[in-house]
Amino acid sequence: MIHVLIIEDEAPAAVKLIKQVNELQPDWIIMATHDSISSSVEFLQINEPDLIFMDIHLADGDSFEIFNQIKIKCPVIFTTAHSDFAIKAFKVNGLDYLLKPIPNSEIKRVIKKFKNQTGQKLPENIHTILQNIQTKHKERFLIKMNKQLISIPVKAIAYFYSEDKLSFIKTEKGDRFPLDESLDKIEKQLDSNSFFRINRKTILNINAIQKIESYFNGRLSLTIMPTPEEKVIVSREKVRYFKKWLGD
């Protein structure tokens, strides 16, 4: 007999899900439904379900927090209404998810999959996977240049810089491409582990840094590749964060 836990903060959605599961698997027992991180954690400290359906956005935060607080041993199927980058990344990592509203065919699919792989646990590194998924960043930039469309992977970018109010990409190979977004907007889409806004005019890839020297007024002077036309200075208010960024 299979014991199922449903974590879902919207009552009608929970009722619907219970009905769908019951219809397909009358022998399964729905242990409980919980609508928050805290109540789910409390429940899981005492009980051990065989399968969990877990909504991502809960009453008191994102359900990923549950994994930070308690070790879950059984398979988890995530449910959500939004199909953004994060959700697409689930499949890559072998985690299953259902998009709401959930069609019967989808419920059938995951139940079948669950039956075929009973005993299969969540990946050991679920914690890091979820963390990476939560902070999914832009991977490519689309550029229009010389009547062509070019897709540039973020990995190949040494730095972003602005010049006379326009933004540019400089690649590792030294090619320059114009970009029609402000540095402020670009900064938000990038992985802060690899990229850092060292001053008003530059967002730097950590791999582009060759040498760091101290400079006047407590600032830092950088040697970066490919060499830009202007001297690269880490502004004073950024120095502390810059050092922290390098240290992480």
Chain residues that interact with another protein, rule: CB under 8 A: 81-84, 99-101, 103, 142, 144, 147-153, 155-156, 163-166, 171-173, 175, 178, 180, 215-217, 229-231, 233
| Least spacing, CB of residue 33 vs another protein, in Å | 21
Q: Which residue lies nearer to another protein by CB, 82 or 240?
A: 82
- Smallest separation, CB 127 to another protein (Å): 27
Q: How far is the CB of 27 from another protein (least distance, A)?
A: 25
Rank residues 72 and 198 by Cβ distance to another protein and give the closer one.
198
CB of 163 to another protein, least distance (A): 8
Query: Residue 206 corresponds to which tokens in the numbers above?
Result: 């950590």
Q: What does R_g of the chain's alpha carbons equal in angstroms? A: 24
CA angle 186, 195, 207 (to 5 degrees): 135
For residue 179, the minimal CB distance to another protein (Å) is: 9
Q: Which is nearer to another protein, 124 or 164 (CB)?
A: 164
Nearer to another protein, 112 or 155 (CB): 155
Closest CA to 21 of 58, 50, 55, 53: 53
**How many CB atoms are located within 10 Å of the residue 187 CB?**
15
CB of 72 to another protein, least distance (A): 28
Other CB atoms within 10 Å distance of the CB of residue 40: 26
Q: 7 and 52 in contact (C-beta within 8 Å)?
A: yes
Q: Can you tell me the distance from the alpha carbon of 193 to that of 86, in angstroms, rounded to the nearest whole number?
A: 18
Structure tokens belonging to residue 138: 């832009």
Cβ–Cβ < 8 Å for 194, 229: no
Measured from the CB atom, the residue of 28 and 177 that comes closer to another protein is 177
User: Beta-carbon neighbour count of residue 60 at 10 Å?
Assistant: 13
The owner of tokens 């950088």 is 222
Between 113 and 140, name the residue whose CB sits nearer to another protein. Answer: 140
